[in-house]
Structure 1
Amino acid sequence: MDRTDVLRWVEAYERVWRADDTTALGTLFTEDVRYLRSPYEPPIEGLTAVRGLWSDPEPFTMSAWVVAVEGRDAVVRALVRYTGDEPQEYTDLWVLQFAPDGRVEHFEEWPYWPGRGYSASQG
């Protein structure tokens, strides 16, 4: 994997998310993907389980930058702004591990929202 490959994957992720197309998730993730919505939450295991949580029809904008790539591992920084009735934004780091076929086999989010605690001491 290189930065261009990772950016292409991120662009495909955004297209699938924007289209709210759970059938296309198989182009992004392996069948046995481990998907963590937070580093300390239990993983969602398998593509079928990810499909069950994926739907999010709220309108949004997204910007993403590749922070690092090392072999099959990558880190991406994303800024997402929901633009619907209750605007909200968050900054997210994604730790990605790619399978040899270019799909992600491990997806780990580190999400941060304005006004929410971000350390163990803030509860």
Structure 2
Amino acid sequence: MDTNTVERWVAGYERAWRTPGTEPLAELFSPDVSYLPSPWAHPIVGLSRLGPWWDAERDGPDEPFTIMSEVVAVEGDTAVVRIEVDYLGDDPARWRDLWILRFDTDGRCVGFEEWPFTPDQPDGH
């Protein structure tokens, strides 16, 4: 795994979010993926469970948003990516995330861990 490969994977994730249906997920995630949408959530295990969750989480493939990403680190089969997403629809939202990604030898994600932050969330002070 290297930075360019991770950048292409993130671009594929964005394309999948903007594509109707969930078929593109099979190119991105292994069949037994463990997808953790926040550090407090229960993981979504398996591509067959990820698809319905994915569709329920978005407003549809034409949902207006911008996304920027920066690969922070890559070591072995693991990458850390900083993500900035601005949803521009009727209910605008701004998110800054860290993704921790583990990949198999085919370049598909076997472990996805998201640490999402929004400006409205308490900072603990």
Give the drift of 1:42: 1.1
CA distance in 1, matches of 2:67, 2:20: 15
Query: What is the TM-score when the length of structure 2 is the normalising length?
Result: 0.91
Say whether residues 1:8 and 2:5 are aligned partners.
no
Shift of 1:27: 0.2
In the alignment, which of 63, 66, 69 is matched to residue 71 of structure 2?
66
Q: Is the 8 A contact 1:112 1:118 kept in 2?
A: no
In 1, Cα distance between the equivalents of 2:37 and 2:86?
17
CA deviation vs aligned residue, 1:37-81 (integer Å, no higher than 9, x gap): 112211100001100111212221100110000010000010000
User: Paired residue for 2:95, among 85, 90, 97?
Assistant: 90
What TM-score comes out, normalization by structure 1 length?
A: 0.93
Q: Deviations over 1:87-107 (max 9, x none)?
A: 111001000000110000000
**Percentage of identical aligned residues:** 49
Runs of 5+ consecutive residues of structure 2 not aligned to the other structure: none
Out of 111, 117, 123, the residue aligned to residue 112 of structure 1 is 117
Which amino acid letter does the alignment assign opposite residue 73 of structure 2? Answer: A
Q: Given the alignment of the two structures, is residue 52 of structure 1 paired with residue 57 of structure 2, yes or no? A: no
Aligned residues between the structures: 120
Matched, 1:21 2:26: no
Which AA in structure 1 matches 2:83? A
Alpha-carbon separation, structure 2, partners of 1:78 and 1:21: 23
SS in 2 for 1:85: coil
| Equivalent residue letter for 2:33 | V
